[in-house]
Each structure stands twice: as C-alpha cells, then as structure tokens.
Amino acid sequence: MIRFFSFDRFGFLMRAYFLIACFLMAQVAYCRDEQAAIAHRVAGLDSLMIKYFKNHERAVREADELYELLKEHYRSKEFLGYKIDVRLQRAILYALRENHQEALRISLEAMEEAEEHNLPERLYRAYWVVAIMYEVMNEHDICRSYLDKAYVIYREKGLESVYSEYCIRIASHYRQVGKIDSSIRYAKTALEYATKYHNFRERRDACLLLGNTLAEERFDEALHYKGLAAGMFEDIEDFSSAAMQLTGAAHSLLSRGRLKEAFMYSDSALSILQRTGTDVLAINYAVRYRLFEAINERDSAYHYLKKYHEVFVSELSKNETLKLKEISEQYASDKKEAVIKAKNQQLVFITCLLAVIAITVVIVIRKNRKIRSQNQVISRQVEELMKTLEQKQVLLSELQHRVKNNLQHVISILEIQKESVDFNNIDELIRGNQNRIHSMALLHKKLNISDNINEVDLKKYIGELSELVKESYWKRKTDVSLELCCDVSKLSIEKALPLGLIVVELVSNSMKHAFGKRGLGIIQISITEEGSKGVKRLYYSDNGSGYDFNRKGEKGLGMEIIKGLIDQLDARAESNGKNGFELTLYFK
C-alpha cells in the first residue's frame, strides 16, 4: 500500500509539473506571438508614414490606436520599446501637421522613458527626433546639442544600420546654419549608409538635400539628385512631390537658358500628374508659361498663364477651407480632451477622497465652469473665423472679376494691333505689350499685399511702373532722369488702371522718340489734387524734340491707346509741344 501510494503521488506530481510546464510554454509562445503582432503593426505604421501624403489620415489614426493599445494592455518591459517607437512616430506626425509644440512634448517624453529604461537604440532615435523639432523652431544650438548626444550613442553602441538617420539630420542642420560643404559631405555619407542598409526614407532625404544644396558649379550633379528624388517619390505614389522635383529642375534649367532640357523635365512632371489623375499645381503651370514665353510661343504662353491663374485662385480657396477645417478639428479635439480630463479627475477624487466629497464637488464644479467658459471662447473664435472666411471669399471673387477685366484689356489692345503687326515692329509691339501687362500685374501685386482690394498706393505704383518702363527702353547713349511728385496717396483701382496705362504709353513714347541723340533726358511726372472738389491733375513733360498731342490725322497706336484711356478716365486734356512735350490731364 505504501509503495502504491508513493507511486501514485509521484505520478500526480509529475503530471502537475507537466501541465504547469505546458502552461508556461504556451504563455511564452503567446507572448512571442503578441510581440510579433505588435512589431508587425509598428513596421506597418512606419510604411504608412513613408507614404504620408497619400495615407496621412490613416497613419494618424493607426498611430493613435496603436499607442492607446500599448498604453492600456501591453505595459510589460517586452513592449516598452514598441511604445517608445510609436510615441516618436506620433511626434513626427504632429510635426508634419505643423503642431511643433505638441510634437516636441511627445518626443521629450519618449526620450525620458528611453533613458529611464536604458534602451540605447530608442534613445538614439529620440535624440534626433527632438533635434528635428528644435531645428524647425530655429533653435540651432539646442538642435546641435541633441545631435551630438545621438552621435555619442552611435559610437558607443555601433548602430551602423541607422547611422544614415544621424547623417541626414546633421546635414540638414549644417544647411540651416550655412555650412554648405559640411552639409554636402554628410548628405553623401547618409546616401552611402542608407543604400547599404536599405533605408528608403534616408536615401530619399539624402537625394533631396543634395539636389537643393550643391553649388552652382555642380549644377548637373544637383540635377541628377533631383531626378533620383523624383523617382523615389513616384515609387511611393507621392506624385505631387515627384512632379515638384521635376518642375524645380525645369525652373533651374530655364534660368540657365537650357530650354530643351527644361521642357523635358516639365513635360515629365505634367505627364506624371495627368497619368495618375493628380491635381496640377499652380507652380507647374507657371513654369510652363515661362518656358513658352522664352521661345516666343505667345499663344501657348497665354494658355498656361490662364491655367496658372485658375489653379492659383483654386489653391488659395482650398487652403482657406483646409485651414478652417483644421481649426474646427482642433476645436473638437480640445473639447474632447477637456471632457475626458474632467471625468478622470472626478473619478480620482471620488475614489481617493471619499472623506472630503464636499471639496471634490466644489473642484468639479469649478472645472466644469472653466470648460464651459473655454467652449464659449472657442465658439466665438470659430464664428469670427467663419466671418473672416466669408470676407476672404468676397475679396477673392472681386479679385477674380478684376483679373478677368484686365485680361479683357489685354485682348482689346491685341485686337487693335492686329492690322499693324509686321516683321519690322514685332519686337517693339511685344515690348509695349509686356509693359502694359506689367502695369496690370504690378497693380494686382499692390492689391495682394494690401487689405483693401479697391484702392492702391498711387505713389509707389506710378513710381515703380515708370521706372520699369524706363529701364525696358534704356540706351547707354542717353542718360534719362525720371522725376516723380505725387501728393495723392490713394486711388481707386478703376482710376489707377487707366492712369497707369497712360503713364506706360507716355514714358514709352518719350524713351523711343523724344531724346534722339541727346546726352541727357528729363521726364517729369506730377500728380496733385486741386481744390476741395476732388479734381486731380496729372502733369507729364519731357525735354525732348517735342510733339503736338492735338495734331489731327495722327494714327499711332500709342496715341490711340492714350486717347481711349483718357476717355475711360473721363479726363480733360491740355497739351503744349513747343518746348519738348507736355500733357496735363484733369480728372476726378
């Protein structure tokens, strides 16, 4: 009996041990499977961030969900490194959305956690992510201090496979502080290590840095890297960025007069956007317009100029809408966080301070009042922003209307010129039209930098416009002095446009015909306001050979345009052509 009992007890213990061992092995296998699943999701999030511009909403959602999962259900040391990785990814996502303060806060918390638990590779990454945030905020000394800390860890731990990350960041830092040679050297080192260890993101960023940093005398090398960067953007289906690189290369080639190559790059950019159904940006059309203008294909240049204006206006409206959407989303997020924070505080106080419930209730009431007050403030801000958006939309519609009217002016002038075009005066006609279009463009530039779309700073407008026309006709044989006196500070756009075109024609005529072989020419322009009835006076004169403005039978295009513009201005003209040329206009 004793032997039987002993054997039975031994067998029972063995079975129990076996079951416990099986359970522990199953637990280990389960933990390994869980770790593999989390690691897979972290890697997937990294892939989404590489294609951020295509998947930005999905990347933000996945990062938030994964972080909450790790924070609530995976608190053991095995998962701590993944939690830090996701924190750093969330910091980068906040930075991409230009919320740099929140991005810095998250990355500093991740850095402290990596330091506390002695995770060197995560600490290395945290240092250069923090450096990015300080670089964006132009705190270059602080940025460099964190990069130096990252370099120390790289040397101590031999982190060769991720050394390209440090090289990219230090190259970017050197570029920001103007040390171009150092920036190029580190960017090339980053490209070498990124290629060796198949780090796609750093390889792409290295090409971007080299394409933008290489000096003028190494332009073709920079062009090569821009092409590589464009190809890598196309690989991750970020077609807008790919086209932007090619368009930038086309613009650089255009400025160097290499038109054939510039057309090739511009055609490739447009082909990518059209083939993939991606929206064409205003800059793409702007470069096309300048290219066709450079080869004197005016119809094509005009076509792409119109496209540029259309897309520019559309992008401006879209940016305003996106800005309002971001503010609304931020408002909703802030409200949600405030409510959650208040509820958590209530639970803590109820659980821990049952003896002082009365105090807890007072604190909760104060918090709720504060939240309601904040909500009211935010609601008022949203209402004000809505009103501002409506005002901007009205101003935008008005600007579109004025652009359309000004283009009609250009078309009318071109119609007048149809019968007078021949091969002897084509250059002169083109230059004249350029000056007229410049006058309209300059007028809109003045409006764009002003809050008032109906009035223009007349002195600056006439001054810059007359200098621009003078320079376009300047000859080394004649020294021309331009004297401007303007007592009228503001003028409506309806009056400023014809007045500016009149000045264009008068200065053009003086520069072309007035001075002949004279060594010194003088042009005087005076705009004053006379009396209390609001009558304004434009006085124009030159000391040239003289011209009778009132002579009948004169059919010059410039005179026709001037007289038509005088009628449009509803002005009264007086002229004296005895000593040089003089013209006085009176208008309201």
pLDDT at 422: 54
pLDDT confidence bin for 56, thresholds 50/70/90: low
pTM of the model: 0.47
Cα-Cα-Cα-Cα dihedral of 336, 337, 343, 348, to 10°? 170
**Which is nearest to 486 in space by CA: 511, 456, 519?**
456
The pLDDT, as a whole number, for residue 469 is 86
Answer with the residue of higher pLDDT: 396 or 164.
Answer: 164
Provide the pLDDT for residue 371: 85
> Higher pLDDT residue, 501 or 40?
501
Cα separation, 318 vs 66, in Å, equals 31
The Cα–Cα gap between 437 and 407 comes to 9
- Residue 117 token pair: 């638990």
- Mean pLDDT computed over 68-89: 78
User: What pLDDT, on a 0 to 100 scale, did the predictor assign at position 172?
Assistant: 92
pLDDT band at 397 (very low <50, low <70, confident <90, very high): low
Residues 6+ apart with CB under 8 A from 86: 42, 45, 63, 66, 67, 70
- Tell me the backbone φ, ψ of residue 74, rounded to 5 degrees: -130, 80
What percentage of the chain carries pLDDT values higher than 90?
A: 19
CA distance 153 to 147: 10
Dihedral sign for Cα 362, 365, 370, 373, please: negative
3-class DSSP assignment, residue 491: strand
**What is residue 26's predicted lDDT score, i.e. its pLDDT?**
45
Tell the burial category of 202 from Cβ atoms under 10 Å away from its Cβ (0-12, 13-18, 19+): buried
CA atoms within 13 A on the CB side of 188: 9
**pLDDT attached to residue 125:** 87
- The 10s digit of each residue's pLDDT in 187-241 is 999 999 999 999 888 999 999 999 988 876 788 998 999 999 999 888 888 888 8
pLDDT grade for 554, boundaries at 50, 70 and 90? low
Instruction: Enter the tokens of residue 489.
Output: 């500070």
Between 405 and 254, name the one with better pLDDT. 254
pLDDT above 80: residue 581? yes
* CA pair distance 317, 302, nearest whole angstrom: 23
How much is the average pLDDT of 453-478?
81
What span, in angstroms and rounded, lies between the C-alpha atoms of 195 and 183?
18
User: Residue 167's pLDDT is what?
Assistant: 93
Comparison of pLDDT for 57 and 225, the residue scoring more: 225
Please report, for residues 346, 362, 562, the alpha-carbon distance to residue 368 in angstroms, rounded to integers and kept in the order given.
11, 10, 70
Work out the pLDDT band at 89, boundaries 50, 70, 90: confident
Check residue 185 and give its pLDDT: 94
Q: b/e per residue, 522-559, with b = 16+ CB within 10 A?
A: bbbbebeeeeeeeebbbebbbbbeebebeeeeeeebbe
pLDDT (0 to 100) of residue 5: 38
What average pLDDT does range 155-161 have in this prediction? Answer: 90
Most confident of 24-28, 49-53, 215-219, 302-306: 302-306
Neighbours of 156 (CB within 10 A): 10
Residue 21 in this model has a pLDDT that exceeds 90: no
Please provide the average confidence, as pLDDT, over all residues in the chain.
Answer: 78
Q: How far apart are CA 582 and CA 49, in angstroms?
A: 68
Q: What is the pLDDT of residue 484?
A: 93
CA neighbours within 13 Å on the CB side: how many for 560?
12
Question: Strand 581-587 to strand 535-542: parallel, antiparallel, or no bridges (unpaired)?
Answer: antiparallel
Model confidence at 416: pLDDT above 50: yes
Q: Return the DSSP state at 423.
A: T
- Backbone φ/ψ region at 528: left (φ over 0), alpha (ψ -120 to 50), beta: beta
Q: What is the mean pLDDT of residues 148-154?
A: 91
Whether pLDDT at 52 is above 60? no
pLDDT digits (tens, 9 = 90+) for 163-193: 998 999 999 999 999 999 999 999 999 999 9
Of 296 and 59, the structure prediction assigns the larger pLDDT to: 296
For residue 201, give the nearest of 49, 54, 40, 39 by alpha carbon: 49
pLDDT bin (cut points 50, 70, 90) of residue 263 is: very high
pLDDT at 325: 52
Residue 421 phi/psi, 5-degree rounding, is -80, 130
Average pLDDT over residues 261-286: 89
**Cα separations (Å) of 515 from 139, 483, 512, 546, 584?**
57, 16, 8, 9, 20
Q: With CA atoms as reference, report the closest residue to 302 among 320, 317, 290, 318.
A: 290
What is the β-pairing status of strands 479-486 and 581-587?
unpaired
- Per-residue pLDDT, 103: 86
Give residue-wise pLDDT tens across range 485-517.
999 988 888 888 889 889 988 998 888 888 877
